[in-house]
Amino acid sequence: MTAPAVIHHLQFASLPNGMRLHYASAGEQGKPLILFVHGFPEFWYAWERQLAEFGQTHFAVAPDLRGFNLSGKPSDVENYRPRHVAEDLVQLTGALGYTRCVIVAHDWGGAVCWNLAMQHPEIVEKLVIVNAPHPYLFARALTADPAQQAASGYMNWLRKPGSEQALAANDFALLEKMLGGHEGTRPAWFTDAVRARYHAAWSTPGDNDSHALTGSVNYYRATPMRPPTDSEPAADLSRFNPARFDPNCAVVKVPTLVIWGEQDRALPKTLVDGLGDFVPDLRVERIPEGTHWVIHEQPERVNLLIRSTLP
């Protein structure tokens, strides 16, 4: 079977909440929907190999999240809280003509989709998470684990004014370093052609002449998840307090596959420990040699694991 073309030029969805999302797709609309949700500092193209594969059996869609690439980039930091981004995905699902879908998400996309699955389980047929911790486990680690606090120290740097200018300096040298291997070397998957695509996405102007990277960095500015500093407290666990909220508020009630590259420097494999307490229908697949960028390093393996969860 020949893989379908990935169509991405000028595909936009105007959502009821006023957000305009750009997306790429493969396959025929009307087949079951599978939604691929990228993280930082990526865009829809992170899922090119998955779109080509799953477009053969599904309507495979990968949006640019708000703040990234060609999607709308609201200026207010508050607009980047996970609940707003999750609502974009709910509305995008409806705009595409669906009421349910399979969701595959990585990094910040995973953080958003953990929340989506908790808040809107009715639209999530199955959830696949790649290297993105459950919000309670991550918040707990940021509060109590010095190793996690050190590994996540970059989050506080990204929250500072001017971080987007620093990321863009010297032809995006710092952003490229984030995608690098253990020694900061350029990874094999980040070819010249891929690099050109990423540079173009990182250069797309923001709304109201804001910096191209401001929207993506605003995810870090908006989140309560952060290591403590002398002037700011650690991550806020109050939303999970049973005295104030439904004690099941952190439970994901949909079938879930978690794929974890265990060489992730910022999100260590210990973040998967205890996940079964929050996800009753859970399967975990660990990739010992995989890094945070395992979807690029081992796309065929990741595709097989995703495929194994589908009917």
Residue identified by tokens 């595909």 is: 11
Active-site residue identified among 64, 88, 107, 264: 107
Domains in the chain, number = 1
- pTM score, two decimals? 0.94
The residue range of the domain holding 41 is 12-307
pLDDT of res. 242? 45
Task: For residue 274, tell me if it sits in a domain.
Answer: yes
| Catalytic annotation present for 292 | yes
Mean pLDDT of the chain: 91
Task: For residue 23, tell me if it sits in a domain.
Answer: yes
Chain segment 55-100, per-residue pLDDT in tens: 999 999 999 999 999 999 999 999 999 999 999 999 999 999 999 9
Chain segment 256-295, per-residue pLDDT in tens: 999 999 999 999 999 999 999 999 999 999 999 999 999 9
Task: For residue 200, tell me if it sits in a domain.
Answer: yes
The whole-number average pLDDT for the span 6-24 is 91
% of the chain surpassing 90 pLDDT: 80
Task: For residue 4, tell me if it sits in a domain.
Answer: no
Task: For residue 105, tell me if it sits in a domain.
Answer: yes
| Catalytic annotation present for 209 | no
pLDDT of 298 > 90? The answer is: yes
User: Which domain CATH number covers 173?
Assistant: 3.40.50.1820
Contact between 22 and 70 under an 8 Å Cβ cutoff? The reply is yes
Tokens of 204: 């797309």
Chain segment 191-250, per-residue pLDDT in tens: 999 999 999 999 998 777 778 999 999 999 999 888 888 777 766 666 655 444 454 678
Task: For residue 207, tell me if it sits in a domain.
Answer: yes
Task: For residue 1, tell me if it sits in a domain.
Answer: no
255 class by beta-carbon count within 10 Å (0-12 exposed, 13-18 middle, 19+ buried)? middle
Active-site residue identified among 23, 64, 220, 296: 220
% of the chain surpassing 70 pLDDT: 93
| Catalytic annotation present for 120 | no
Task: For residue 2, tell me if it sits in a domain.
Answer: no
pLDDT of res. 181? 52
Peptide bond into 41 cis (omega under 30): yes
Among 179, 204, 174, 200, CA closest to 189: 179
pLDDT of res. 271? 96
